[in-house]
């Protein structure tokens, strides 16, 4: 399989995630779309790692997965805190830092 | 054979991604993301990276998604309002996303990376297996490895602080419920 296919698929997945962030307004779904974008980046990293024949790109992908896990934990913590304060779960209404 | 597997996994990944963006119910969105993650793990296997594929399934599709499912079940499914705060958002966003895709494709395919057209060099059987990745992590990339463990610890502490913060306030709130409720209503 030619490497171009993997890279174009990665670009397509990244674009889908970006479109989701632009369209959706629920913070939960926006976090899911962020995951899509991070995974598209991972796919590109691993495709390039295979293309060069060097395993270091796979270590980069593992570090990206760690960072994504941290981002998910903090994001979900924020959503739970918002929910407990009875704030609306809508990013268009949450536009002030001190609401 | 490899082509067929690639196209099956690619269609699965794209369908999962489209499901995350399009499905109204956040719970179904999480399930679509799990399909996406499994398809990506299959693609990683096709690219000779067995350890990353296993980590993807165990850590991502297993642990992280369980966290998502719990939070979606806790928060409930908040329906998005039908009105658009930004006029033309539904129309403009796909156009901007399409522009981003065209830009990325032009940037990649017109680059002078000759190896993009090929399948990559032949690799030895141990390429991407746990032993090789572990050696790299603990020798060449020891500092980033330790830094990422520190980052994970910080994230865990931060999540506990964020999620448990309320309990102290709830004690104070029980003493003066009327004032707090009035404040919420004012919002």
Entry field: residues in chain A: 99
Assign residue B18 the CATH number of its domain: 1.20.120.1200
Nearest to A16 among B18, B40, B80 (CB): B18
Domains of chain A and CATH, by start:
3-84 (1.10.287.3510)
* Minimum distance, in Å, between the CA of residue A83 and any CA atom of chain B: 7
Asked if residue B126 belongs to a domain, the reply is: no
Asked if residue B42 belongs to a domain, the reply is: yes
pLDDT given for residue B183 in this prediction: 43
Helices B166-175 and B142-164: crossing angle in degrees, nearest 10, is 10
* Minimum distance, in Å, between the CA of residue B27 and any CA atom of chain A: 9
Task: Check CB contact under 8 Å for A3 and B116.
Answer: yes
Indicate if the pLDDT at residue A1 is higher than 90: no
Q: Within A1-84, where are the H helices?
A: 3-23, 27-52, 56-84
| Domain containing residue B1 | 1-78
pLDDT given for residue B170 in this prediction: 54
- The tens digit of pLDDT for each residue in A36-60 reads 999 999 999 999 998 888 888 999 9
Asked if residue B43 belongs to a domain, the reply is: yes
Asked if residue B103 belongs to a domain, the reply is: no
What is the interface pTM, i.e. ipTM, of the complex? 0.91
CA B26 to CA B130: how far, in whole Å? 35
| Alpha-carbon torsion, ordered B127, B132, B133, B136, to 10 deg | -120
Number of domains in chain B: 1
pLDDT given for residue B177 in this prediction: 42
HEC-encoded secondary structure of B124-177: CCCCCCHHHHHHHHHHHCHHHHHHHHHHHHHHHHHHHHHHHCHHHHHHHHHHCH
Asked if residue B140 belongs to a domain, the reply is: no
Task: Check CB contact under 8 Å for B52 and A13.
Answer: no
Q: Which residues of chain B have pLDDT under 70?
A: 77-85, 114-116, 165-187
CA B72 to CA B116: how far, in whole Å? 40
- Range A62-84 burial, b when 16+ CB lie within 10 A, else e: bbbbbebbbebbbbbbbbbbbbb
Indicate if the pLDDT at residue A34 is higher than 80: yes
């Amino acid at each position: 399989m030619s490497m171009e296919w993997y890279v174009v698929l990665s670009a397509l997945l990244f674009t889908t995630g970006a479109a989701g962030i632009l369209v959706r307004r629920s913070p939960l779904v926006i976090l899911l779309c962020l995951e899509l974008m991070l995974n598209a980046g991972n796919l590109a990293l691993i495709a390039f790692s295979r293309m060069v024949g060097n395993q270091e790109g796979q270590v980069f992908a593992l570090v990206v997965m760690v960072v994504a896990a941290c981002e998910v934990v903090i994001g979900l913590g924020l959503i739970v805190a918002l929910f407990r304060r009875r704030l609306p779960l809508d990013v268009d209404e949450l536009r002030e830092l001190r609401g | 054979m490899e082509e067929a597997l690639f196209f099956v996994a690619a269609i699965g990944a794209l369908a999962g991604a489209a499901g995350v963006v399009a499905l109204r119910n956040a719970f179904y969105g999480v399930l679509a993301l799990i399909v996406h993650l499994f398809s990506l793990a299959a693609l990683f296997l096709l690219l000779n990276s067995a350890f990353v594929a296993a980590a993807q399934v165990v850590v991502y599709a297993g642990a992280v998604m369980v966290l998502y499912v719990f939070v979606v079940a806790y928060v409930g499914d908040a329906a998005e309002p039908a009105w658009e705060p930004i006029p033309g958002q539904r129309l403009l966003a796909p156009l901007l996303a399409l522009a981003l895709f065209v830009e990325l494709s032009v940037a990649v395919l017109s680059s002078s990376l000759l190896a993009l057209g090929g399948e990559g060099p032949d690799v030895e059987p141990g390429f991407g297996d746990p032993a090789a990745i572990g050696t790299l992590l603990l020798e060449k990339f020891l500092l980033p490895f330790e830094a990422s463990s520190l980052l994970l610890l910080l994230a865990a502490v931060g999540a506990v602080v964020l999620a448990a913060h309320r309990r102290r306030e709830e004690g104070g709130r029980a003493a003066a419920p009327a004032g707090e409720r009035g404040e919420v209503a004012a919002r």
